[in-house]
């Protein structure tokens, strides 16, 4: 009984935070003109993201009784940073849909999307500079993380269509591309909660590990997810020659047969290829191995929470569960 109540109050808290963040994004003080810049910026900010990153900022910050206004500003700033990278990544990866909506470069054009991304990032910078506690440390963490995310996206592009990428290289890429931004969210919660470097470092490490969980799951959902709830077509990363945990594992575990098999199923129409691939990955226990990696990093993330928060880690454990159990 107690657990059920806790869980429902946790879920209610998450919903309240989502509403607050969406309201914050909607009421950001933006100029009306020029349309060329602000119409696509507003389009992006009206999107229906899960807002996991700003929620994480809030949950960590609340644990340390950080100032609510600081958490709102920092949460919006990381959400803008996240959206800036999505808008630009979607151009680079030629993705036409995001959360079931046309991407900016698809709805308008590439120039519009480049500039919208730049503007969103500048707005994020202005927001992060408005926090009142440890302002400069928050700003520096924000920008170091941005550079790391750029490095991660660069590895992602560099590794495209490369059939020699190892699991280690895959982890280097996802730690930067996905992990650092989530690490930043946890760390900023600690910065705004005026915690020392040791705590911050555990928080950052938590985010890096949770980011790995998140990305491995993303790769699994790309093959096993529900197209409708994902809001994008399955298999698009595979078609684009992206490195995913499943293909990298398949190559490492079955070097002799994988290349030929992969060649073969790429000839098939996408739905057929996916269904064929699902069977193969299960039969060869590659899916199982990927899920074990989720467990490993989930475990490490929980250890980090223990080191960072001790007895106060309860709500972040629930957040971690929510991320680990997500279906989209």
Nearer Cβ to a copy of itself (163/314): 163
d(CA 199, CA 143): 20
Does 283 sit near a copy of itself (CB under 8 A)? no
Taking CA atoms, 132 is separated from 20, 103, 239, in Å, by 20, 34, 46
d(CA 109, CA 114): 9
* Interface pick for a copy of itself out of 24, 61, 119, 190 (rule CB under 8 A): 119
Place of tokens 């994004």: 25
Does 280 sit near a copy of itself (CB under 8 A)? no
Does 37 sit near a copy of itself (CB under 8 A)? yes
Nearer Cβ to a copy of itself (56/123): 123
Does 154 sit near a copy of itself (CB under 8 A)? yes
Q: Which stretch binds a copy of itself (CB under 8 A): 16-24, 85-93, 262-270, 298-306?
A: 85-93
* Interface pick for a copy of itself out of 32, 35, 269, 311 (rule CB under 8 A): 35
Total site size for a copy of itself, rule CB under 8 A: 38
> Any bridge partners for residue 98, and if so which?
101
Q: Which stretch binds a copy of itself (CB under 8 A): 128-136, 223-231, 249-257, 309-317?
A: 128-136
Contacts with a copy of itself by CB under 8 A lie at: 31, 34-38, 88, 91-92, 110-112, 114-115, 117-119, 121-123, 125-126, 129, 135-136, 139-140, 143-144, 146-147, 150-151, 153-155, 157-158
């Amino acid at each position: 009984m107690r657990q059920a109540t806790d869980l429902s109050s946790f879920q209610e808290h998450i919903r309240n935070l989502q509403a607050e963040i969406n309201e914050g994004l909607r009421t950001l003080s933006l100029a009306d003109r020029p349309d060329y810049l602000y119409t696509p910026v507003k389009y992006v900010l009206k999107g229906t993201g899960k807002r996991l990153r700003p929620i994480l900022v809030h949950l960590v910050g609340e644990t340390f009784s950080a100032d609510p206004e600081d958490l709102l500003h920092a949460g919006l700033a990381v959400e803008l940073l996240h959206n800036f990278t999505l808008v630009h990544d979607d151009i680079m990866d030629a993705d036409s849909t995001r959360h079931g909506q046309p991407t900016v470069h698809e709805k308008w054009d590439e120039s519009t999307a480049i500039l919208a991304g730049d503007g969103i990032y500048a707005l994020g910078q202005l927001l992060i500079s408005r926090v009142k506690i440890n302002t400069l440390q928050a700003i520096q963490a924000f920008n170091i993380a941005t550079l790391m995310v750029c490095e991660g996206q660069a590895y992602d592009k560099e590794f495209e269509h490369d059939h020699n990428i190892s699991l280690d290289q895959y982890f280097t890429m996802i730690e930067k591309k996905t992990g650092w931004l989530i690490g930043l969210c946890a760390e900023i919660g600690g910065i705004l909660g005026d915690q020392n470097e040791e705590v911050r470092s555990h928080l950052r490490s938590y985010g890096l590990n949770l980011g790995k969980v998140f990305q491995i799951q993303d790769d699994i959902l790309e093959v096993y997810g529900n197209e409708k709830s994902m809001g994008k077509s399955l298999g698009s990363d595979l078609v684009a020659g992206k490195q995913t945990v499943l293909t990298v594992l398949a190559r490492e575990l079955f070097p002799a047969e994988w290349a030929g098999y992969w060649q073969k199923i790429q000839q098939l129409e996408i739905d057929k290829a996916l269904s064929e691939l699902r069977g193969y990955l299960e039969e060869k226990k590659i899916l199982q191995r990927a899920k074990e990696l989720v467990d490993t990093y989930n475990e490490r993330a929980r250890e980090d929470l223990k080191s960072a928060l001790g007895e106060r880690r309860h709500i972040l454990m629930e957040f971690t569960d929510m991320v680990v159990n997500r279906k989209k």
